[in-house]
C-alpha cells in the first residue's frame, strides 16, 4: 500500500539530485551531427573539368566548371544548341533533398526538339575526403557525365565528410568509445589513458609506459651516449688517476692483463643511465597484455631494450645515483687474477678496495 501511494507522487527536489546526472549521462551518448564549414567553397565539377581540379587550384578553371548545383554542373555538358535544359524528376531524391552519399543520383536533363526527346544524364557522385566515390553507374545508350562535388574539409579525427545538402563538412558527433566531445562543434578527444589508433577511428589504450626519457642536450653526455665503452680516465680525480696507474702496473707485474672499463662519468650521463635502467625495469615489471600488444608499447619496448643493451646495463644492478664515478673517484678494472691477489694488489699498491668483490668485482674505489 505504501509503495502504491508513492508511485504517483511528484519527486521531491532532493530526489532529482540523483536523477539529473543519470539523465545527463544518457543524453551525452545520443548521436548528433557535428558540422563545420569547408575550408573552401565547394564546387561541383563536370567530368570534363575534373582534371583541372585534380591538379589543384594552380590552374584557374573556366567559369563553366564552377557550379553551385549539381544540376547546373550537369548542364555544363549540355549543348547550347539544344536550348534550355529541362529537368525530369530524378529517380532518387532531388536536389537539394539529397539525403545520402550513396548511391549515385541520376540527374536527367531532357532535350525536346519537336517531338524528339533526347536525354542527357549525369550521375551525381560524391568525391570528398570521406572515402568516396563509389564507382559511376554506367547507363548504356546514355550520354554520361560525372559531377564531382569537391570540397576540402578540415582534417580532424574522426574525419569530416562533405554533405552537399547542407554544404557543410559533417561527421557524427557521437564520439567513439573512450572519447568525449565538449559540444557538437568540438572535436572528439580521447579520454585519459587512451589515444587515437593509427586510422584515427577509435580510441585505444595508451601505453602505460611513457616515452619520457629526457633528450640528451649536453654534448659531453652525447659523447658517452655515442660510445658507451668510452673509458674517460683523463677526468679522474688526480689521486685516483695515480692509483689506477699503480694498480695497472702492479697487476701487469703479477702476470695479469688488466683492462679499464668505466672511469669518470659525467653526472648527467650517470643520471641518463639510471633513467634508461628504470625505463627498462618498467617493461620488465609490467607483464601486461596491453603492453604486449599495444603497438606503441611494443615499439617503445624495442627501442628501450636496444638502448639498455647498448649501455650494457644489468637487470641485477641499478646504477648508483651518487656514484663515485661521477666524481672521478671510482674506476672499473677487469683483472684476470685470483680474487685474493687482486684485493691484495689494490690494497698494497694504492689503497684501493672493492666494496663488492663478488657482486661487482671490477669496481675499485678508495675505502
Partner 1 sequence: MNTLNMTRWFAVGLLYLLLSLGNVAAAAPPIVEVYGTHFGGKVQYHYRVKNNGLYPISSVWIGHDTLNDADYYNDVWELKTDISGMFVNKKYPSPDYFDIPAASVTSPPGWEVRRISLEETEEISINWLMADDYSQPVAPSQTMGGMSVTLDKMDMTYITSHATINFGGRSKKDEITVPLQRLDITPPALTVTLNPSIVRENDKLAPITATITVLDDYDPAPEIKLESIIASEPMENGDVKEVQLGTDDRQFQLKAESKTNAGRAYLVTYSATDGSGNRTTASATVSVQRKDEKHEERRDEKNKKRNKD
Contacts with partner 1 by CB under 8 A lie at 2, 6, 12, 14-15, 17-18, 21-22, 208-210, 274, 278, 282, 284-292, 314-324, 330, 355-356, 358-361, 363, 365
Closer by beta carbon to partner 1, 15 or else 41: 15
Closer by beta carbon to partner 1, 160 or else 280: 280
What's the closest the beta carbon of residue 252 comes to partner 1, in angstroms? 20
* Alpha carbon separation from 288 to 72, 195, 208 (Å, rounded): 60, 18, 10
What's the closest the beta carbon of residue 321 comes to partner 1, in angstroms? 4
Closer by beta carbon to partner 1, 109 or else 221: 221
What's the closest the beta carbon of residue 362 comes to partner 1, in angstroms? 8
Q: Which of 323, 356, 353, 358 is nearest to 247 (CA)?
A: 353
Which residue has cell 601486461? 288
Residues 6+ apart with CB under 8 A from 235: 263, 264, 328
What's the closest the beta carbon of residue 318 comes to partner 1, in angstroms? 5
- Ordered DSSP codes for 233-253: -TTS-HHHHHHHHHHHHHHHH
Residue 311: Cβ within 10 Å count = 18
* Alpha carbon separation from 170 to 33, 34, 100, 152, 167 (Å, rounded): 7, 6, 12, 12, 9
Closer by beta carbon to partner 1, 60 or else 358: 358
Residue 4: Cβ within 10 Å count = 7
Cα–Cα distance between 292 and 359 in angstroms, integer?
Answer: 32
What's the closest the beta carbon of residue 330 comes to partner 1, in angstroms? 7
Closer by beta carbon to partner 1, 141 or else 192: 192
What's the closest the beta carbon of residue 259 comes to partner 1, in angstroms? 12
Residues 6+ apart with CB under 8 A from 224: 230, 232, 265, 266, 269
Closer by beta carbon to partner 1, 22 or else 31: 22
What's the closest the beta carbon of residue 348 comes to partner 1, in angstroms? 22
Classify burial at 310, counting beta carbons within 10 Å of its beta carbon; exposed 0-12, middle 13-18, buried 19 or more: middle
| Distance between first and last Cα of the chain | 88
Q: Name the pairing type of β-strands 43-46 and 203-205.
A: unpaired
Closer by beta carbon to partner 1, 126 or else 224: 224
Q: Which of 280, 274, 272 is nearest to 226 (CA)?
A: 272
- Helix H or strand E segment including 342: helix 339-350
What's the closest the beta carbon of residue 284 comes to partner 1, in angstroms? 7
Closer by beta carbon to partner 1, 250 or else 362: 362
Amino acid at each position: 500500500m505504501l509503495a502504491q501511494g508513492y508511485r504517483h507522487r511528484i519527486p521531491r527536489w532532493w530526489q532529482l539530485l540523483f536523477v539529473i546526472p543519470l539523465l545527463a549521462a544518457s543524453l551525452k551518448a545520443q548521436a548528433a551531427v557535428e558540422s563545420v564549414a569547408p575550408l573552401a567553397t565547394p564546387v561541383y565539377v563536370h567530368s570534363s573539368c575534373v582534371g583541372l581540379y585534380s591538379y589543384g587550384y594552380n590552374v584557374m578553371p573556366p567559369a563553366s566548371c564552377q557550379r553551385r548545383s549539381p544540376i547546373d554542373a550537369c548542364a555544363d555538358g549540355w549543348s547550347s544548341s539544344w536550348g534550355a535544359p529541362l529537368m525530369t524528376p530524378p529517380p532518387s531524391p532531388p536536389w537539394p533533398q539529397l539525403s545520402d552519399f550513396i548511391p549515385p543520383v541520376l540527374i536527367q536533363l531532357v532535350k525536346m526538339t519537336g517531338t524528339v526527346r533526347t536525354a542527357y544524364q549525369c550521375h551525381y557522385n560524391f568525391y570528398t575526403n570521406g572515402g568516396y566515390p563509389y564507382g559511376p553507374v554506367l547507363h548504356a545508350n546514355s550520354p554520361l557525365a560525372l559531377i564531382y562535388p569537391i570540397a576540402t574539409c578540415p582534417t580532424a579525427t574522426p574525419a569530416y565528410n562533405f554533405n552537399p545538402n547542407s554544404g557543410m563538412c559533417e561527421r557524427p558527433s557521437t564520439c567513439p568509445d573512450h572519447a568525449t566531445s565538449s559540444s557538437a562543434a568540438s572535436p572528439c578527444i580521447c579520454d585519459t589513458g587512451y589515444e587515437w589508433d593509427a586510422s584515427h577511428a577509435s580510441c585505444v589504450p595508451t601505453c602505460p609506459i611513457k616515452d619520457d626519457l629526457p633528450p640528451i642536450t649536453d654534448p659531453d653526455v652525447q659523447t658517452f651516449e655515442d660510445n658507451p665503452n668510452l673509458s674517460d680516465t683523463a677526468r679522474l680525480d688526480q689521486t685516483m688517476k695515480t692509483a689506477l696507474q699503480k694498480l695497472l702496473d702492479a697487476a701487469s707485474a703479477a702476470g695479469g692483463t688488466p683492462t679499464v672499463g668505466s672511469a669518470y662519468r659525467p653526472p648527467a650521463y650517470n643520471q641518463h643511465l639510471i633513467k634508461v635502467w628504470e625505463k627498462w625495469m618498467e617493461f620488465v615489471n609490467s607483464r601486461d597484455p596491453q603492453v604486449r600488444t599495444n603497438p606503441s608499447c611494443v615499439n617503445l619496448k624495442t627501442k628501450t631494450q636496444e638502448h639498455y643493451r647498448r649501455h650494457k646495463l644489468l637487470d641485477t644492478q641499478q646504477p648508483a645515483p651518487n656514484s663515485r664515478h661521477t666524481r672521478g673517484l671510482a674506476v672499473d678494472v677487469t683483472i684476470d687474477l685470483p680474487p685474493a691477489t687482486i684485493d691484495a694488489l689494490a690494497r698494497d699498491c694504492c689503497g684501493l678496495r672493492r666494496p663488492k668483490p663478488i657482486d661487482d668485482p671490477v669496481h675499485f674505489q678508495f675505502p
